Amino acid sequence: MTLTVGSRASALAKAQVREVLTQWRPAFPDVTFRQRVILEGGDRDRRTSTLAAVAKTSGGSAFSTNQEAALAAGEVDVIVHSLKDLPTAMAPGLTLLPCPGPRADVRDVLCGATLADLPDGARIGTGAPRRIAQLLVLRPDVEVLPIRGNVPGRLARARSRGGSLDAVVLAAAGLHRLHLDSEISQYLDPETYPPSPGQGALGIQVRTGSEAARVLADIGTPEVDAAVRAERALLADLHGGCSVPVGTYTSLTPTGHLRLRAAVTSLDGERQVTGVGSGPLDEPEKLGRAVAADLLRQGAGDILAAIRL
């Protein structure tokens, strides 16, 4: 049997495909895996835009549309996504497989300077509303500039001598997968700076009921899958995609329970509600929904509504 594995064209997307194929080729010796790149509109559009435009367009669906269309049409059998870029509502006829491990480092990082080193009024590059909002909580003095594009491109903005930025915020996961760890100046504490739901995890998508779905049914790692299910259930209940300032951080307690911490932050960093909860590994969605309900009781709905205006 041959299964064609699709992904975006970026070096990160290709590294993610290599990572899963390193696991799957020995685990499924009877399957021949082929790789295929599917371009997205965003792959050709590297322009920066205003904060408002980024807040509207940096959502997950813009990233996955052509991938999902190719999967639905049978041009590929499996898509390897960055899970955080995948909307919580699944396209009809497509299924997300249990999440494989290991999950990469979930934390956000600063490249170019540490929080303590940043001069007053420092210029920081990031287009993600969550990162903008959380940075402004910690450092209300900084100026946030929207930057888009792939990971190496964004890094170059902080690295260029006399460049326009003091630092950029990126995901540790992408830098690790691209072997760019040496660019990291500081890991941001995930308790105070919780990353995007699903950050660092891979989203493996197939056609519902397909051969690929059957063959790959058991690729998941239970602790990783439970954590991302809790995070995505929380996000779904807040009606958010990766373009809203919702951060989540899941850890495993000494007794093997899931602990989920979450924060919703206004874009100006002036309002933040946080919640934490724990629950058994086999009911992750229940935990996600409970923490979401707690955040909504504290006013998360108003914070998010103000951003959607």
Ligand X SMILES: NCc1[nH]cc(CCC(=O)O)c1CC(=O)O
Residues forming the active site: 84-85, 130-131, 148, 154, 242
Residue 224 engages ligand X in binding (rule: CB under 6 A): no
Mind spelling out the 3-state secondary structure of 112-138?
A: CCCCCCCCCCCEEECCCHHHHHHHHHH
Specify the stretch interacting with ligand X by CB under 6 A; choose among 29-37, 79-87, 265-273, 293-301: 79-87
Residue 237 engages ligand X in binding (rule: CB under 6 A): no
Residue 144 engages ligand X in binding (rule: CB under 6 A): no
Strand segments, DSSP code E, in 10-145 are: 32-37, 78-82, 94-96, 108-111, 123-125, 143-145
Residue 68 engages ligand X in binding (rule: CB under 6 A): no
Calpha distance 15→177 (Å, rounded) = 6
Calpha distance 124→39 (Å, rounded) = 29
Shortest approach of ligand X to residue 189 CB, angstroms?
Answer: 17
Of 4, 7, 67, 82, the one binding ligand X (CB under 6 A) is: 82
Specify the stretch interacting with ligand X by CB under 6 A; choose among 155-163, 165-173, 214-222, 283-291: 165-173
Q: Exposed, middle or buried, 297 (CB in 10 Å: 0-12/13-18/19+)?
A: exposed
Shortest approach of ligand X to residue 221 CB, angstroms?
Answer: 16
> How many C-beta atoms surround the C-beta of residue 45 within 10 A?
12
Residue 84 engages ligand X in binding (rule: CB under 6 A): yes
Please count the residues of this chain forming the interface with ligand X, following the rule CB under 6 A.
10
* Contacts with 234 (C-beta within 8 Å, 6 or more apart), sequence order: 197, 246, 248, 260, 262, 288, 289, 291, 292, 295
Of 86, 122, 170, 262, the one binding ligand X (CB under 6 A) is: 170
Identify which of residues 66 and 199 has a Cβ nearer to ligand X in the complex.
199
Applying the rule CB under 6 A, the residues between 198 and 217 that interact with ligand X are 199-200
Contact indicator for 289, 234 with CB cutoff of 8 Å: yes
User: Which is nearest to 106 in space by CA: 267, 281, 230?
Assistant: 230
Identify which of residues 173 and 206 has a Cβ nearer to ligand X in the complex.
173
Residue 81 engages ligand X in binding (rule: CB under 6 A): no
Residue 20 engages ligand X in binding (rule: CB under 6 A): no
Residue 85 engages ligand X in binding (rule: CB under 6 A): yes
Instruction: Please report, in angstroms and rounded to a whole number, the separation of the first and last CA atoms in the chain.
Output: 50
Identify which of residues 134 and 278 has a Cβ nearer to ligand X in the complex.
134
User: Which is nearest to 144 in space by CA: 195, 185, 110, 192?
Assistant: 110
Of 125, 174, 190, 245, the one binding ligand X (CB under 6 A) is: 174
Residue 173 engages ligand X in binding (rule: CB under 6 A): yes
Bridge partner list, 279: 258
Binding residues for ligand X, rule: CB under 6 A, are 82, 84-85, 151, 170-171, 173-174, 199-200
